Chains A and B, each alone.
Chain A
Amino acid sequence: MIAAVNSVLGQRITGGLLPQVEFDVDDQGVTSADPIFPPIWEIGLQTIAFAVIFWLIWKFGGPPIKKYYAGRTERIQREMDAAIAAKTEAEAEAARIRTSLGDIEAEREQIKAEAREQAASMLTEGRARLEVEVAELEERAVAEIASIAGRSGDELRGEITRHASRAVDVVVAESIDEAVHQQLIEDFISRVGSSGASAGTNGPGSTGA
């Protein structure tokens, strides 16, 4: 059993290049060879094999590995340089932004100041215009009130006159009876007769008798 295992292990390790080792097993199952230290020839043989393998690896695998690491170092260095450049550019951009922010702030303050000034000016002008308009409205209202009052007065006077005229007509018509008619006629004749040749001849128009 053990011999079979060693055989398999020996083939895997050496690739079938090493000679097969035979162990003698006694009746108790123990081999006559040293179970810890292999025989010297085996050690020498494996050292040579190791040296050969090491040389092969160093010969054929070393340059690509060196090249790989050199490229990796270069790439890292390039990325670091790019990162430094980006950082520098970002700092410059940040400085510009800060400057721009400062300019914007100043401009905003200036705009606010101008707006405040303009608003104050508009307020002043608006108040002045409003005062003028209010004064004009008051003046117009006073004139209109006076006009309405005048019209009302005129209408009232007209109405009174119309009523008075009607009253005069009615009173006069009712107060003149036959006796009054005769008295008026007699008065007229007397006055015209006593007025003389030149009296009551004032030309066209009315001459009271």
Chain B
Amino acid sequence: MTIDDNRIEGYARALFEVARADGTLDEVEDELFRFARSYESSETLRTTLADEGIPAGKRQAIVEDLLGDSATPTTVQLISMVVGSGRASDLVAIVDALVQRASSAKNLEVAEVRSAVPLTDDQQARLKAAVANATGKQVNLKVVVDPSVVGGLVATVGDTVIDGTVRTKVEQLKARL
């Protein structure tokens, strides 16, 4: 494990402990996961929050303005803390490590599901059961709305990918062309 890995793991452990002590681990974990996915897909957001030329206070203010009332105060404070400490470029890795740690603590496997449209609670529950049935593992389902999949779903559990997206079918069709 490299120094960077150790640092990322350290941040993840700290965030995990703060959220668990606050009693909002599941909620914070979910909000962090969704923010990480948005952060990962937005180059402008990544560039801005990782820009050392912008004062830390201003970057933290951007995070607070961005999340506002849509996330718990704990989530906003944790992200603000990571950005303020100049680790914005590692934010995604830190959050993923946190989610992994939280899932491991509950003996769950993280199942990342990407969908072109939001899933209902009922769909998420049935999907969680279906993935657990398919992989033989209890999963911590994380749904990401990703329009690039065009339609359908793709689930990633560890090294296993279950792909039912229209994007993949279109790509296969294009490859045959």
Contact = CB atoms under 8 A, between A and B. Distances in A.
Contacts of A115: none
Contacts of A180: 151
The DSSP consensus for interface residues of chain A is helix
Contacts of B155: 192
The DSSP consensus for interface residues of chain B is mixed
B134 A193 contact: yes
B119 to A, nearest CB: 7
B177 A193 contact: no
Contact of A188 (B129, B136, B152, B160): B152
A208 B164 CA distance: 5
Given A164-B177, A209-B152, A199 B134 contact: yes
B61 interface: no
Interface in B118-177: 119, 123, 126-127, 129-131, 133-136, 150-153, 155, 157, 159-164, 166, 168, 170, 173-174, 177
B120 to A, nearest CB: 9
Interface stretch (A52-60, A92-100, A166-174): A166-174
Contacts of A28: none
Interface residues on B, range: 20 to 34
A209 B163 contact: yes
Contact of A193 (B133, B157, B174): B133
B115 interface: yes
Contacts of B170: 168-169, 172
A189 B173 CA distance: 23
B173 A168 contact: yes
Given A181-B151, A188-B153, A192-B155, A197 B163 contact: no
Contact of B135 (A182, A184, A185, A201): A201
Interface of A: 160-161, 164-165, 168-169, 172-173, 176, 178, 180-182, 184-193, 195-209
Top 3 A-B residue pairs of the complex, sorted by shortest distance between their CB atoms: A209-B164, A193-B130, A206-B163
Given A178-B117, A184-B153, A208-B163, 6 more contacts: A189-B126, A192-B134, A193-B126, A197-B134, A204-B161, A209-B163
